[in-house]
Structure 1
Amino acid sequence: MLSKPWLRRILLEQGLFVSWIIAFTATLGSLYFSEIIGFIPCEYCWYQRILMYPLAIILVIATVKKDTGVAVYVLPLSIMGGSISLFHYLTQKVTFLREQGAACGPIPCNIEYINWFGFVTIPFLALVAFILITIIHLSLFYVQRSASK
């Protein structure tokens, strides 16, 4: 997978910082949508926030300390967050799941506050962030395991 030495070096040097930037941008984006634009988060959005906000804090600390071993803590949060984001996105875009999203709470989970290009919604943006963070930290985990052998 990461057989190129230069790719390993870049990942080890910049992976934490890039994943922190992704988590921080996702956190600021969710706050922008709710606090500035006024979109009220649904129940699934809150679950995604519960998993993304700590990532921004954990990753900035790991970046400052250069602690690449943080993947053990990051991966459960990013994988769970990605799973919730995927399900949330499917409740918006898949017809037979749309009804379940309508019964989510006071704010229906199938509401699309944004729909850029016909497919980019807020859960989609969160899903992309969680997937990128997961890929970076799976790669970091792999590099560390192969280096310790």
Structure 2
Amino acid sequence: MTTKRSSNTWWLLLAAWLLALASTLAVLFVGEVMGQAPCVLCWFQRAFMFPLVVILGVACYLNDFSAWRYALPVAATGWLIALYHSLLYSGVITESLKPCGAGPSCSGADMTILGGLPLPLLSLGVFTLIIILLIQIRRRLLP
């Protein structure tokens, strides 16, 4: 019973790592290959997504299911930044609260990929999925 439970939990951890890895590779592709410079908020989101690749990757390798304890705060902080960025992009937050100075706009039209998918919303979605997976891992470990 515990082996099957551990196996299922490991797949959740692997899925969280794969999401973080795919997101990291995607933003590197957008920035380095496609030449889209990230805005200030994109840099902050990257600062919380990139470590998740290492944290969750090592946790998968070591079967460390307690990784949710230190990955969840990182993902939640990135989620908050992505939420703010998404609200700014969609116009819910006024331009006067925009943190961007010099460089690309946080709410500009160049913040899209694949024919109109907003990068801030994609980031929010990935952080959300990672958080959901980490909470599922926590639920399986704690009664």
Verify same fold: TM over 0.5.
yes
Distance 2:96 2:34 in 1: 26
Distance 1:14 1:142 in 2: 14
Query: Number of aligned pairs?
Result: 139
Q: Does 1:26 align with 2:31?
A: no
TM-score, structure 2 as length reference: 0.87
User: Unaligned 5+ residue runs, structure 1?
Assistant: none
Which letter maps to 1:133? I
Which letter maps to 1:25? A
Shift of residue 139, structure 1, vs aligned partner: 1.1
Cross-structure match for 1:42: 39
Deviations 1:51-93 (A, max 9, x none): 0000001111111111110000111011111110011011111
Cross-structure match for 1:55: 52
SS of 1:104's equivalent in the other structure is coil
Shift of residue 112, structure 1, vs aligned partner: 2.9
* Greater shift in the superposed pair: 11-20 or 22-31: 11-20
Which letter maps to 2:100? C
Which letter maps to 2:101? G
Cross-structure match for 2:124: 127
Distance 1:127 1:88 in 2: 9
Taking every aligned residue pair, what percent have the same amino acid on both sides? Answer: 29
* Greater shift in the superposed pair: 81-90 or 103-112: 103-112
Match of 1:105 among 61, 78, 101: 101
Distance 2:67 2:73 in 1: 11
Q: Contact 1:85 / 1:126 at 8 angstroms: preserved in 2?
A: yes
Q: Contact 1:92 / 1:112 at 8 angstroms: preserved in 2?
A: no
TM-score, structure 1 as length reference: 0.84
Shift of residue 40, structure 1, vs aligned partner: 0.6
Query: Over the residues paired in the alignment, what is the CA RMSD in angstroms?
Result: 2.1
Q: Does 1:145 align with 2:121?
A: no
Distance 1:78 1:138 in 2: 11
* Greater shift in the superposed pair: 49-58 or 87-96: 87-96
User: Unaligned 5+ residue runs, structure 2?
Assistant: none
